[in-house]
Amino acid sequence: MASRLQPILLSGSQDAFARAYDASQALPVDESRLAPEGWEPPRYAATISRPAEVEGPATYHRGRLRRLAFLPAPRGMATGWVVDRGDLPEQLPIPMTLGSVCRADRAIVLRSGVDANRFRMSEHVICHRLGLGIDNIRIETDSEDPPLFDEGSMPIVRALLDAGLSEDTTQELRYISPSSPVVLMHPSNGGFLLWEPARDGSRILRLDVSIDFPNAIGQERVVLDLHPDAFIHGAVARTNCSASEMRKARLFGWLSPEIRNLGYTRENILLAGKKGYVNEPKLLTPAGKSLEPVWHRTCLDLVAALSLMPPGCRPAGKITSFKSGHVLDVRFLTLLFHKGLIAS
């Protein structure tokens, strides 16, 4: 019951939150992936042991290839994740942090300095910071948009794991959570984000994520501990899009640079109609229900937003996400830090 929580409300009313929380907890858990017994997240920061590289079709420029080169961070330096646009040699690298977010409506766009020095759809890259436990890394690219793969982010996962992880014992990580439960309500759809404090010094982060769409996706819910195995399981999940949104993009895309050359295909996204999927979904339950949308929401959206927190920090405790998205994610974390509600 929501009454046991007595959270700090950043928006909305206690009654509205109670109704939304009870609705989220009434949904059946479609899949649970908890960490192995006795596992605890590491105490020290990590980077990759050697360079890695991926290449694939551009996200926003159909017919072009995009490359990402991942480079190890210097030992002893909490750099976090930074993107260096090689095509803009006079611009500084873009820190992949909350302070660099310039918009988060359709995707999380990061910017540093001039308007052109952007990195779009950043969530599909930064999610690996917490998902795989790689705290510091430098990325070199020659474009504003990353590749869009047919396997979610699995090509990046494989490249980074093949590069190996190197622990830096000079950098002890700071595990953070709020001192009391904190809630941010969605202004219109009844959704919310709730972060409960870590208990007894635990460094584990538990995620309870549910979605509710008025199409073939419907209601889905997963519960997991943020552990590399759980993240890798969900990293195959592609972006989802309604069939009507795809038609609008093709008919009216010339009106907006955000979708004009959108490189979506039936291979690299999941297309949802009103009553069924247009293409073949992934991540099926034994009963045949696809959990691809909720795993994408979890691993490539929510974990990505959490990965934008300051270098040297990792989240702990429990976060419940109900009908949330990029805008609410970013606003929630920004308010938590701005209002000083985060404790070690």
Residue-level pLDDT at 7: 95
Residue-level pLDDT at 255: 52
Residue-level pLDDT at 106: 86
Q: What is the pLDDT of residues 210-261, one digit of tens each?
A: 999 999 999 999 999 999 999 999 999 999 887 767 666 666 555 555 555 5
The verdict on 108 and 13 lying in the same domain is no
The verdict on 323 and 183 lying in the same domain is yes
Residue 165's beta-bridge partner residues?
48
Residue-level pLDDT at 61: 81
The verdict on 167 and 291 lying in the same domain is no
Q: Give the chain's radius of gyration (CA, Å).
A: 19
The verdict on 184 and 287 lying in the same domain is yes
The verdict on 167 and 178 lying in the same domain is no
* Structural domain contains residue 261: no
- Domain containing 231 equals 2-41+173-238+282-343
Which tokens in the block code for residue 254?
């010339």
Nearest to 130 by CA among 344, 302, 297: 302
The verdict on 215 and 339 lying in the same domain is yes
* Structural domain contains residue 254: no
* Structural domain contains residue 252: no
The verdict on 148 and 185 lying in the same domain is no
Q: What is the pLDDT of residues 174-186, one digit of tens each?
A: 999 999 999 999 9
The verdict on 157 and 233 lying in the same domain is no
Residue-level pLDDT at 5: 79
At residue 335, what are phi and psi to the nearest 5 degrees?
-65, -40
Entry field: residues in the chain: 344
What is the average pLDDT score of the chain? 93
Question: What is the model's pTM?
Answer: 0.95
Number of domains in the chain: 2
Query: Of 119, 153, 172, which residue constitutes the final position of a domain?
Result: 172
The verdict on 130 and 177 lying in the same domain is no
Positions of the chain with pLDDT under 50: none
Nearest to 199 by CA among 222, 179, 227: 179
* Structural domain contains residue 246: no
* Structural domain contains residue 303: yes
Given a contact cutoff of 8 angstroms between Cβ atoms, the answer to whether 188 and 71 are in contact is no
The verdict on 63 and 117 lying in the same domain is yes
Residue at token pair 């985060």: 342
CATH number at residue 311: 3.30.1700.10
Residue-level pLDDT at 264: 80
The verdict on 124 and 49 lying in the same domain is yes
Report d(CA 140, CA 83) in Å as an integer: 6
Give percent of the chain above pLDDT 90: 85
